[in-house]
Structure 1
Amino acid sequence: MKLVADNVEEMTIPDSVLHVLRQVAQAMASGKNVSIVTYNPELTTQQAADLLNVSRPHLIKLLEQGELPYIMVGTHRRVKFEDLTKYKQERDSKRRQLLDELIAESQDLGFYE
């Protein structure tokens, strides 16, 4: 597959990139937000906070409480991308579980019929 720009410049696209572009286009067509992140094994605290959609001070609090592991590079904290994605998946799973419990409790109390 080739990508052709307005100035007729052509660029061959690997199958792996084409697959990703299709997924992005499908997600956008269905109204979903799409983020593309370059892979860096270690993120700054601001980058990590941005990916979690939290403030940097809140992220620092999570680090200091031991909720999320980090390493020190000189005087700067770095969060491993792998640890961040694991934390995010666990956090999202807990949120879904709590929401399901809240809905079930509301139904038991007759708030939903």
Structure 2
Amino acid sequence: MPPLMMDPIQPDQGDVSVADEALHHIRDYLDRRSDNGAVHLVVDDEHGREELVVPRGAVELLARILAHMAAGKGVSVVPTNADLTTQQAAELLHVSRPFLINLLEAGEIEYRMVGTHRRVRADSLLDYMRRDDRRRRAAADELTALTQEMGLY
């Protein structure tokens, strides 16, 4: 298994343009073909023409990556079963390490001990992020409803 790559790939302006153009083609392709079979990609470069066969899920993931790159955002890929250090997990959440430790100790995110060190599985972190996003949306919806009820909107 390759090492965990936490450093995102930062697109330059040329990458942003190429990603945006490729994204349109890939989305069109995925919209036209709803089957879940393998996708045949053709690479045509100075070394010749070659066909690559990849799972549809990989192409869907590629579309997500390209969407971020087209927006000028850095991208990294982390396997869901990866064990993250508390510093890596905190960076993914954009919080301080002490704040993350509080979340772990409060039971908000599952973790395990490896000797004296905490390890957070990426899928546990993603579950927390989804739950937190739902809570935030519910709070925003409640505030919107209150604002409308009070006639301030």
State if a TM-score over 0.5 links the two structures. Answer: yes
2:151 matched residue in structure 1:
110
Q: Which runs of 4+ in 1 moved over 2 A?
A: 1-5, 7-29, 31-36
Which of the residues 86, 97, 101 maps onto 1:56?
Answer: 97
Instruction: Identify unmatched segments of 5+ residues in structure 1.
Output: none
Where relative contact order (Cα < 8 A, 6+ residues apart) is larger, the structure is 2
Aligned length: 110
Between the two proteins, what is the percent identity of the paired residues? Answer: 42
Equivalent positions of 1:1-113 (< 5 A) are: 1-3=41-43, 8=47, 13-16=52-55, 17-29=58-70, 31=71, 33=73, 35-39=75-79, 40-112=81-153
Which whole-Å CA distance do the structure 1 matches of 2:67 and 2:82 have between them?
Answer: 28
The answer to whether the 8 Å contact 1:43/1:81 transfers is: yes
Question: Which segment drifts farther, 63-72 or 87-96?
Answer: 63-72
What's the TM-score, normalizing by structure 2? Answer: 0.59
Kindly report the root-mean-square deviation, in angstroms, between the aligned alpha carbons of the 2 structures.
2.7
Instruction: Identify unmatched segments of 5+ residues in structure 2.
Output: 1-40
The 1:79–1:105 alpha-carbon spacing in structure 2 relative to 1, beyond 3 Å, is same
Q: Secondary structure at the match of 2:118?
A: strand
Which whole-Å CA distance do the structure 2 matches of 1:106 and 1:21 have between them?
Answer: 40
Deviations 1:20-66 (A, max 9, x none): 3334334544x384633231521111111122121111101111222
What's the TM-score, normalizing by structure 1? Answer: 0.76
